[in-house]
Amino acid sequence: MVLNLKQLYRIAGERVEIKYQIEQDVLKEYNGYAFVSPVLVEGEAFNRTGIVYLNYSVSFRLCHNCDRCLKEFNRDYSFQFKHIVIKDAEKADDDEYVLSDGDKLDLDELVISDLLLQLPSKMLCKEDCKGLCGICGADLNVSECNCKRD
Ligand SMILES: [Zn+2]
Ligand SMILES: [Zn+2]
């Protein structure tokens, strides 16, 4: 979705509600992550005393392979984000600020980059996953094997 900011930039007090979803076929391009649901986006953009704020939350479900035992599992995520939207590139190096392309903001692109940054780099099916035996490959969550692992 592309957000048109024309009115928002111009009129103090203006408010736009955001509620949509990013479909899975768009998400497919972001390889490395298997989305098993669309990304639901809900929030608002508003102009308060001449400054345009964008607050939104996302929720979605990913399918992962556990880094230790390789088992496949699904996990639900939800995050909240807050930004100030500006046209002027000078301040845009600050994380809080998002630069629009004139009066337009590509919300899909922003949402996806925001949420990817929040995802943990290690994916475990459970915190105390015992993983696989390095010798026989048995899933040690399921059963102990007889290998002598130091
Ligand atoms: Zn595991
Ligand atoms: Zn073993």
pLDDT in tens, 89-112: 776 566 688 999 999 999 999 999
For the record, the structure tokens of 38 come out as: 């669309």
CA of 144 to the centre of ligand 2 (A): 7
pTM of the model: 0.86
The label of the residue with tokens 């100030």 reads: 84
Q: Would you state the pLDDT for residue 137?
A: 94
Ligand nearest to the CA of 148: 2
Average pLDDT for the chain: 92
- Determine the average pLDDT of the residues in 63-73: 95
SS3 (DSSP) at 26: helix
Ligand nearest to the CA of 142: 1
CA of 147 to the centre of ligand 2 (A): 4
136 backbone dihedrals φ, ψ, rounded to 5°: -105, -10
Q: Would you state the pLDDT for residue 52?
A: 96
- Determine the average pLDDT of the residues in 118-143: 93
* pLDDT at residue 135 greater than cutoff 80: yes
- Determine the average pLDDT of the residues in 33-62: 96
CA of 130 to the centre of ligand 1 (A): 7
CA of 141 to the centre of ligand 2 (A): 12
- Distance, in Å, from the CA atom of 20 to the CA atom of 118, rounded to the nearest integer, reads 20
Measuring CA to CA, which residue among 47, 48, 58 is closest to residue 103?
47
pLDDT band at 77 (very low <50, low <70, confident <90, very high): very high
C-beta of residue 63 within 8 angstroms of C-beta of residue 74: yes
116 by Cβ neighbours in 10 Å (0-12 / 13-18 / 19+) ranks as: exposed
Q: In this prediction, what percent of the chain has a pLDDT beyond 70?
A: 95
CA of 134 to the centre of ligand 2 (A): 7
Domain ranges of the chain: 2-118
Cα–Cα separations (whole angstroms), residue 15 to 68, 77, 140, 142: 47, 27, 54, 53
pLDDT (tens digit, 9 = 90+) per residue, 17-44? 999 999 988 888 776 789 999 999 999 9
CA of 83 to the centre of ligand 2 (A): 50
- Distance, in Å, from the CA atom of 42 to the CA atom of 58, rounded to the nearest integer, reads 7
**Which amino acid type is present at position 113?**
S
CA of 49 to the centre of ligand 1 (A): 50
